[in-house]
Structure 1
């Protein structure tokens, strides 16, 4: 019985030590989606300008690419570099036993590590609906109508090499972290409406402000010189001169509008 008691104590102690670590690991891996305020509404159906759906620019690596990525001494997530590997093929041959070659593929942004993803629901003001009910005796009801077409653009907060590749990797991480439809460019068409009613009391002026929301993504991008090394039947990736650089970006939320309503006695 003493042995059973001893074994149970050891197993229970290990469980207590492993569980917090596992929970912490799972907490980092699975981030909850961003909570959207009630003032933010989806206008995908009402938008008079049909924005194209922005899919995450992630490529599924081929079996050959997977082998190359595993051999790399630095993590590679760049979709364009993965595409090059997917489109490449090097056949193994018994005559390649003595083969030795190093092929320079260039300087590439290899991966992006997200440090912070935070939404700004009033990133850019895009519209103001107004009505003067100072002479009225009852509430006046009105709703959102987009007066003119608005183009909302995001972008990186600093100049950086291979910026388009970096933007794609940042977009992937931001979409994963927020579960929001993000795009660096989105448009709200003129005449877009929403049925939500806002009441302007008598003797008041009513202002309905519309804002385009966006996500502020911050993190670190890693660069390196990529070499394809051939040694007999082996094919491996080697990365040299690795550097890292901090970077941020604003990425608009597609087909979403944040509203703010105010009823005042004096004009604003």
Structure 2
């Protein structure tokens, strides 16, 4: 039994080591206080479907030729919709096409979660005059919008937010969105016991992910020389950026009892 357990531990360590070497960070542990309200939420939030956009053969050829890494889905989409025909008579042909200044890629440096990012609801049960324990349940009293956003202004904000959202979703495996809503009347059947001669307070919080990293900008050119095509990026700059991204349809509950009103 001891030999089998030791072998299992070695196997787990090897698998974990290979995962880290491949850049696969462990998913963040979700506390037991986090509750999924996606089925109970009276306000249907739209699902954030932001799969990584696959470049076309032509776009892949161009991005592979670039002197700077290109991950911006909007720029890849533009390249996917472009084409340049090759011709045997292109000897001596030269052209440079300026596509503008773009955010090229986002490098995530730190990802953390504040499970009590914003308090959105308080339920109270006064059992000071009761003869037996009473049950307190969560019920959303008002419709609540929870919004995130970048912590500082950067050029081409929407494209940067999309890249940050993609990285944060991949690292946390959580349903993230820069805006989410908890509808009025949303309920959960989980009871919280309020003792005799006590007041019970049930607080509901919306969690959010804090994403921090660097975004790289550059002026993008398509350079054509004969039948050769490539991307050249000039004036490359890097800027630090941070964002708060709410977790969609998840709540964190905190329950406490008191002798006096709070």
What TM-score does the superposition give when structure 1 sets the normalisation length?
0.90
d(CA) in 2 for partners of 1:128 and 1:92? 66
d(CA) in 2 for partners of 1:57 and 1:166? 15
> Aligned to 2:243, which of 249, 260, 264?
249
d(CA) in 1 for partners of 2:160 and 2:22? 23
Structure whose alpha-carbon radius of gyration is higher: 1
CA deviation digits over 1:171-207, x for unaligned, max 9? 0100011000000010000000011110000110110
d(CA) in 1 for partners of 2:41 and 2:21? 37
Task: Please state how far the C-alpha of 1:38 moved relative to its aligned partner.
Answer: 0.5
What TM-score does the superposition give when structure 2 sets the normalisation length?
0.92
List runs of 5+ in structure 2 lacking aligned partners. 1-13
> Aligned to 1:105, which of 99, 104, 113?
99
Q: Please tell me whether residue 178 in structure 1 is matched to residue 145 in structure 2.
A: no
Aligned residues: 248
1:69 paired residue number: 63
2:221 paired residue number: 227
d(CA) in 1 for partners of 2:54 and 2:117? 33
2:115 paired residue number: 121
d(CA) in 2 for partners of 1:173 and 1:100? 38
Kept in 2, the 8 Å contact 1:215–1:252? The answer is yes
1:191 paired residue number: 185
Task: Please state how far the C-alpha of 1:35 moved relative to its aligned partner.
Answer: 0.8
Kept in 2, the 8 Å contact 1:57–1:168? The answer is no
d(CA) in 2 for partners of 1:28 and 1:132? 54
Task: Please state how far the C-alpha of 1:154 moved relative to its aligned partner.
Answer: 0.3
Superposition CA RMSD, Å: 1.4
CA deviation digits over 1:229-253, x for unaligned, max 9? 0000011000010000000000000
